[in-house]
Structure 1
């Protein structure tokens, strides 16, 4: 097994509420900033859904529940296994809780996504967002 394959899966929480999706602006090591979903490594014995729910709470303070896993892939830029989990808000309002990792957050409408994430999303996530954000 390669060291990359042994690394934990990264679980991303795709949180839609009131026709908008939550993105966080991550402080990446190079000092540049990147918009993405609340996400982090699954811990020992934790499912992707459990990890996405925990990461959403740790990063944004939101209490969310897992709706369904949208898909898994090896991320083309990072080489990490990613699991994308649709979540819905149970309670709370989002704020930057983990300010070591996050610089900002935003609730975005469908027509704002390309401005924040110009390269687009993993196809099952894009299809989910197209449906969830058009209603």
Structure 2
């Protein structure tokens, strides 16, 4: 950190990016999307993305969900936070570091349409999520299990 508590531009560029995952539960299933772009292009995961400046977590989760899928949901609670770090050397992208805040969302409407950076989407039971194996992003099964567990 630079003198006086200010953060330099270089330090700012090497910080994790805060993002949200919208974990929508409906009819004992979770909504997953297959990403079109890095990181995790081609993998199945939860809809989500960057938190915009001044945006609250729940608002970001609802916005990202709607932008990527057209599904409407009400953000209800933070499930957990995940630390995602990946190097996309093959893609020429470089290094990614995200802190992902997973937000459980209650479905309000819409079956979903792939949009934005989404190749495909679907509603999955826990068994179907398990069956994705390495076609799912890291942590997807554990997060789906957490989201589908009864509220305490």
TM-score by length of 2: 0.73
Q: How do 1:10-29 and structure 2 match up within 5 A? A: 10-29=19-38
Equivalent position of 1:40 in the other structure: 49
Equivalent position of 1:128 in the other structure: 146
User: CA deviation digits over 1:37-65, x for unaligned, max 9?
Assistant: 00110001112211110000001001111
The unaligned stretches of length 5 or more in structure 1 are: none
Is the Cα contact below 8 Å between 1:38 and 1:56 reproduced in 2?
yes
The unaligned stretches of length 5 or more in structure 2 are: 1-6, 87-95
User: CA deviation digits over 1:52-83, x for unaligned, max 9?
Assistant: 10000001001111110112232143421111
| Pairwise CA distance, 1:120 | 5.3
The reply to whether residue 84 of structure 1 matches residue 106 of structure 2 is no
> Structure 1 CA distance, aligned partners of 2:41 and 2:115?
19
| Pairwise CA distance, 1:18 | 0.4
Q: Specify whether residues 66 and 112 from structure 1 end up closer, same or farther in structure 2 by C-alpha distance, changes over 3 A only.
A: same
Q: How do 1:49-128 and structure 2 match up within 5 A? A: 49-77=58-86, 78-98=96-116, 101-118=117-134, 121=139, 125-128=143-146
User: Aligned pair count?
Assistant: 129
Tell me which moved more, 56-65 or 111-120: 111-120
